[in-house]
Structure formats: structure tokens, C-alpha cells
Amino acid sequence: MATDDLLTGKFYTLDFSPSPLADQFAASYQELLEDHDSRDILVLKRIPCNLDALADHIQNTLGLMVHPNVQSLPQHASHVVEINDPDIDRLAYEQRIELLADVIEFTDWETLIDEATTRFDDVRWPDNYQRADVIEFFQIASEQDSFGRDVGQVLLEATRQGGFTPPDGDTERHILIAALARLNDRFHDRLDAHGLVERANIVPRATDALQDDTTYDHVASGFEAILALEFEEYTANDRRYLAQLAGDADLIAVGERNASIQRVMTEPGEIDDLRDDGVIDFDPGDPARLEDTGRTHRSDTDPGQIASFLATGTDPADTVSAVHLHESTFRDQISAVANEIEYLRHDTDVEYNDFAVVVNSLGDRLSEARRHLRAAGLPTQTVGAPALAEDPAVTELYAFVQFLLNRDADAESWLAARVDGFSPELAEACNTGSLETRLNRWIVNTDLKERVATGESHIEIQEQFQNIERVTDLARFIDQTTLLDSDLPTFKHVLERAIRFDAAYTHTIESAPRMHGVAVTDIQGVKHEAYNTVFLLNVVDQEYPDGERLTPLFPKPWLTEMPRYPAITEVKDNKIDATYGTFTGDRSTSAFDAYYHHRERRKLALGARAATDNLYFCTYESEDNGLGRAYNRSRYLSLLKEQDQITVDNLLPESDDRPVRTREKVAEYILDQPWDELEEIVNAAHTGETAKIEETEKVFGVIQALLSEDDVDPVFADAVASQFALARGEVVHSD
């Protein structure tokens, strides 16, 4: 087994590819097949999404009889931890929120600051701040409602990296970082005392576990060779784990230049620097072998060349084009995207599965986009864990708990609206046993899951079932832990906090290719996926690039003086130049902002190359209420429009060649258009003129086709009929 952190094996470093590297990954797998059976090859993918899709691609490309063993690195590390300690409990995110909040609530900041200054020899203080000022800073900040969430996110990232590790040779520690490090130590000491481990600590824990010979032999018996993919995203912590894991195995790692979006958050530079720094001792292999094997016609596609320009600054070899879709509001943007999908689907042979709608990162916008697309009548294939606050089933469970506690009138009204035949007696009949038992009684006695499954799509059912399970798991945790009181008031408080601080970035978003629907995901979810048509949402300057908001905890000037913060903070031009091929030395912002701006440009490149045929950059002017800040198109979209070899045409979704296609657009059309259309026809008849009815017939034909589909709500169809009857001057009587 490995005894140090030096990685040995074969290392393929590829230049940025204008198409995702799925074919090159298959070629690397084929190379290992020369000496190993498929059953003995472990594939580790760094970004934990689309694992089945990658396995399917390798199997189909190589004609394998056996489905390749593809796992994410965190998933495999979790398996190692379970082998080493079968009794250990992994904290769910909701459980972590509450336990950390409990630690923070009982923290005396004066004592914590003293502990930090005692433990760390070289402490840096903010300018003009003394001990009392820092204590006061934490005392005031901790009174804010968002403090626990913000601290929790910083500690989460630090834990993933194995702690608040310093840059090499740097012994200085900012007092605020020293205080958070001590707080993190307290939190993990408490978890260790109760046999708990948070998921962010899995990889460091697994690395330590592999140093045990028994555990290593057990784990290593399952493979002879490892294929490490997306090596450009492996952080120092990940590389240490891989070094321990691959001690007695053949190892091939495949990395791509100008493609890292995760690792560069914590470590500047390119993957080639790892060899120069003595971190890896790899045979460089022959990149041409992979590039030639994986080269396809996609290398010359318009989206591929646009992606290469965004990632590396390389000018396109040909004149290439994309589309700019612009609308007034975020919701109008999604509505126009839905209509364009239906237009392309009806006029070409593409299916819903051939489309991807992509946001910058996991968050509320992804949930909104999915919701609006579904409201427009489009199926989506993205499976995730939507925010608890958005889930009516979760709200019902919360109302049930609230009603049991104090017979709350609002809770009773909510339950009565959701459950036929609701009565206080029905709720009280469930109020026996443990917290989990009470919830399960309500779920069974009121047929909650059956109600969820009625009238919902498969995806929505699956998502609501996931959230119901998250709530019942939280109840079980409180029942079993000695860290919290097992009673209804505690559970209500815990559930409130979980709903309020639930964060999309902590949950895996997965797209299952076998499902029917439009993929809705973030940039990293399409990094090595390919779709006929990709819509990049919100390509505005406030998102691409925006200023990197690492945390609202500390002022930005303080952040830039925190070398041990779990992200890149102290930045000089040579770091930017060593990390991004697009940096030319010219910048109009601070080095800190410039570093993260180029990361956002790279993310836009990865989103663009996921398109094989059609690429749309989508923008909007303001929020849905039309008030507040204006959103300008991204400077990178403007840059594309300035290039001689790149054409970005403006799409006018409501032009004559873009008829309404979605039910949502039909509804809007019925409210806004038929009156004018029919009036024009009637006036033409009265004056003896010839009415131009070709386009009107086309639109009405689309409406008729949509209304004839089996799953159209009859109430909606009747409303449409009523609108046209009124437009014709008929009197419609209500029943």
C-alpha cells in the first residue's frame, strides 16, 4: 500500500477539448483493458454526477459485456469509511445544521478567541482591531439570523479540504480564521464523541482509514487498476486519497487544461504544475493517442469553437454562430426557452432528451427554471432535492407538528385544505410514539404519498418522496441522538431551521438519461455531457462574471488578507496567468476579482461545449416584478458579438417564424391576441377586403393540436373555448 502522498502511474494531460472528453475517457479505459479484465477496473470520476451516463458511454463505445464500475471519488471514499467503521453514522445536511447551531449557540466568543490565540503562534489581526473588537465582531454577527448558515458553509468547505490548511511555508493565521478553526475543532470533537461524521469529512477520514492494512487489503481486493477522470478537479485532499488507494494498482489519470472549475477555487495553477512541484511522478503517456482516438466531427462545430475561444482565447477557424435569446424578465426568459424547445421539436427530429437548460450553479434559479418549464408543459428529467420550503408535502408535515403543539389556526387551515375529512381527532390519533412514528402515522393515515403520486409527474413524485424521507430521517435522528431533546418543540425548531437554511449546493443533482424530458442542471452537470441544443440561462454580467462572494461573514478587504480561508483569496497576477489561458495581463478590477471572473468565463465555455448543434445564450432585463436592478448582458457575451469570426444572432421569439408552441404561450396568446386577430378578419369581411389569415390559421392550428392532447386539463380547454366564443361575440353562460 502507499505510504506517502506521491502519485505514480500514467498521466494524460489534454489541451482543452472543443467537445466533452467522454470518448477520450473510453480510450483510456480501453488501454487498461489490455492488461486487466473489466471487472478489475475502478473508474473514479471527481464530479459526482452523470455516473451512469458515463458508464453507459464506455460500455457502448467499447462493446463491453460488463457495465463498467464508475463511482465518484466521494462515493468511493464513503464506502471505505463504512468498511473501516461499520457503526459510524454520517450526518445528513439537515442534522448538521442543528448540531452546529447548538455548538454556536453555547459558544463564548471571548473564550474562543483566547483559545485561538493560545493555540496558534502567529496570528494576524485586522487593521485597527484589537482583541475586544474581534470579540464584539463575533458577538454582533452571531445575533444575525443567517450567521449559523454562513459559518456552516465556510466550515463545510474547510472540512472538505481537511481543515483550514495553509499555503506551503505560511505559518501566519488570521485571527478570524483561527477562531473558525477552533470552532470547527469543537464541532468535530463533539461529533467524534458520539460516533458521528459529517459528509464533508468523508474523504479525509477515508484517507486515514486506508493506512490500516486490514482496511486497505479489503478495499484493494476489488480492483487491479484505477482510471482517475477529471484529474484537473482533484484537490490536494483528493490526491492524497488517490495516492493511498492506488498504492498497489495500475493507475491512469486523465486531466484537461483550462477546464478546472472546482479545484481552482482552492488551488491556483494548471495540472502540469503538479509534476513540476513533485506532487505526482507520472509517465506523461502520449496525449495524441487519446486525442486521435476521441476526435470527432464535433471538434469543428460552432459550439465547440465558441467554447474553445471562451476557455483559451483561441480564435475560431471558421465563421461560427450562436443565438442570443433576450426577454424582459427571468420568467419570460424561461417561457421563451420552453417555446423555442417546442418549436425545434416540432420542426426537427429532436426529442426532449436532446435539450439541456443550464444555470451557472446549484441554487434557487435551478428550481425556478424547472418549475417554469413544467408549468409550460415540458417534461424535465432532472432529479434533485428541491428546497424544503418549496415542497408542499414538507409544509404539510410541518403544519402537522405545529398543530399538535398548539392547535395553531393557520396550521389547521392548511391541513384542512390538503386533507379531505381532516379533523383535530385525526391529527391527535397520530400523536403517539416517537417523533418518527408520529410522522409515519400521519403519512399513512392521510395517504400522503398516495396524494403526492396523484396528478404529479414521475420526477415530481420522486422529488417529494425524497423530501418526505429527509424529514422522517431528521425525526429519527432526534429520536436516537443524546445531543438533542426528543420532543415535539425541539423537532419543530429543528425542522424550521432545516427549511430556512436548506441549501441546494449541498444536494446532488442527477440527470437520468433513460428518463424522458429536458435536462435542467448546472454547469458542472454538463461538463462531459453532450446535447443537441443547450440553453445557457442568465448570461448577464451579474452572473458571468459577477464578483465572487465567498462569504457574507467578512468584509471583502479582510478576505483578501486570509491565506488560510478555504478558497483562493490572496491573488497576484502571476497566479491568474498560471491558472487561466485567457488572462492577458490586462485587468480593470482587483486581482482577486480578476481571478474569479476568469473562472466564470471558463464555466461559460464548459456550458457552451455541451451543445452539439444549437447554442443559445439567454438574458433578461429585470426580475419578474419589473422593479429593482437592471441586468446587463454578460461582458463575455458582448465579447463574442465583437469577434469577426463569431455571429450571435438575436432571436425574436414572437416573430412570424416562431409561432406559439407551449400551453403557457397558448394561455398568454388567448389573453393577448385572438381578439385582435378575429377583429381584423371580421373587419376585412365587412369592408370586402381579403384577410391575411395564413399565420392566424397556423397559430390556431397549433392551439387546436395542443388542446387535443390527452393530458390537457379540461378546465383549461373549456377556458380556451370560452375566450374564443367571447371573441366571436357569443354570450357564454356560467353554470
DSSP SS3 for 359: strand
Question: CA-CA distance, 638 to 621, in Å (whole number)?
Answer: 15
pLDDT tens, position by position, 311-368: 999 999 899 999 999 999 999 999 999 999 999 998 888 999 999 999 998 776 888 8
pLDDT tens, position by position, 154-194: 999 999 888 886 555 556 788 999 999 999 999 999 999 88
Which runs of E-coded beta strand occur in 334-394?
A: 355-359, 382-383
**Region 586-591 average pLDDT:** 84
Is 70 exceeded by the pLDDT of residue 556?
yes
Question: CA-CA distance, 313 to 34, in Å (whole number)?
Answer: 38
Provide the pLDDT for residue 514. 47
Side chain identity at residue 241, one-letter code: Y
Name the range with the highest mean pLDDT among 92-96, 430-434, 464-468, 694-698: 430-434
Question: CA-CA distance, 282 to 59, in Å (whole number)?
Answer: 27
Provide the pLDDT for residue 132. 93
Q: Which region among 153-167, 219-233, 270-284, 317-331 has the lowest average model confidence (pLDDT)?
A: 270-284
**Region 422-449 average pLDDT:** 95
Question: CA-CA distance, 707 to 703, in Å (whole number)?
Answer: 6
Strand pairing partners for 615? 534
HEC string of 503-521 equals CHHHCCCEECCCCCCEEEE
pTM: 0.84
Burial readout 68-85 (b: 16 or more C-beta within 10 A, e: otherwise): bbbbbbbebbbebbebbe
DSSP SS3 for 135: helix
Provide the pLDDT for residue 622. 86
CA end-to-end span of the chain, whole Å?
Answer: 80
Q: What length does the chain have?
A: 735
Better-scored residue on pLDDT, 144 or 462: 144
On whether the CB atoms of residues 579 and 268 are closer than 8 A, the answer is: yes
DSSP SS3 for 216: helix
CA atoms within a 13 Å half-sphere pointing along the CA-CB vector of 635: 11
Better-scored residue on pLDDT, 688 or 613: 613
Q: What average pLDDT does the chain have? A: 84
Side chain identity at residue 439, one-letter code: L
The Cβ of residue 96 has, within 10 Å, a number of other Cβ atoms equal to 23
**Region 457-482 average pLDDT:** 87
Is 70 exceeded by the pLDDT of residue 732?
no
Residue 35's pLDDT band (cuts 50, 70, 90): very high
Query: Which grid cell is 275?
Result: 509534476
Is 70 exceeded by the pLDDT of residue 85?
yes
Nearest 5°: phi and psi at 13? -105, 115
Provide the pLDDT for residue 162. 83
Is 80 exceeded by the pLDDT of residue 233?
yes
On whether the CB atoms of residues 509 and 362 are closer than 8 A, the answer is: yes
On whether the CB atoms of residues 323 and 617 are closer than 8 A, the answer is: yes
Question: CA-CA distance, 727 to 399, in Å (whole number)?
Answer: 45
Is 70 exceeded by the pLDDT of residue 672?
no
Is 60 exceeded by the pLDDT of residue 588?
yes
Question: CA-CA distance, 374 to 368, in Å (whole number)?
Answer: 10
DSSP SS3 for 672: helix
Question: CA-CA distance, 479 to 460, in Å (whole number)?
Answer: 29
Is 80 exceeded by the pLDDT of residue 473?
yes
pLDDT tens, position by position, 505-528: 555 555 544 468 999 999 999 999
Percent of the chain with pLDDT over 90: 55
DSSP SS3 for 128: coil
Strand pairing partners for 280? 7
Is 80 exceeded by the pLDDT of residue 697?
no
Question: CA-CA distance, 435 to 425, in Å (whole number)?
Answer: 18
Provide the pLDDT for residue 676. 52
Q: Which DSSP letter does residue 583 get?
A: -
Question: CA-CA distance, 539 to 632, in Å (whole number)?
Answer: 9
On whether the CB atoms of residues 156 and 195 are closer than 8 A, the answer is: no
Provide the pLDDT for residue 89. 86
Is 90 exceeded by the pLDDT of residue 139?
yes
Is 80 exceeded by the pLDDT of residue 299?
no
Provide the pLDDT for residue 729. 52
Is 60 exceeded by the pLDDT of residue 716?
no
The Cβ of residue 628 has, within 10 Å, a number of other Cβ atoms equal to 8
CA dihedral 513, 514, 520, 524 (to 10 degrees): -20
Strand pairing partners for 619? 326
Distances (CA, A) of 534 to 47, 152, 555, 614: 20, 34, 37, 6
Residue 297's pLDDT band (cuts 50, 70, 90): very low
Nearest 5°: phi and psi at 221? -70, -15
Q: Which DSSP letter does residue 525 get?
A: G
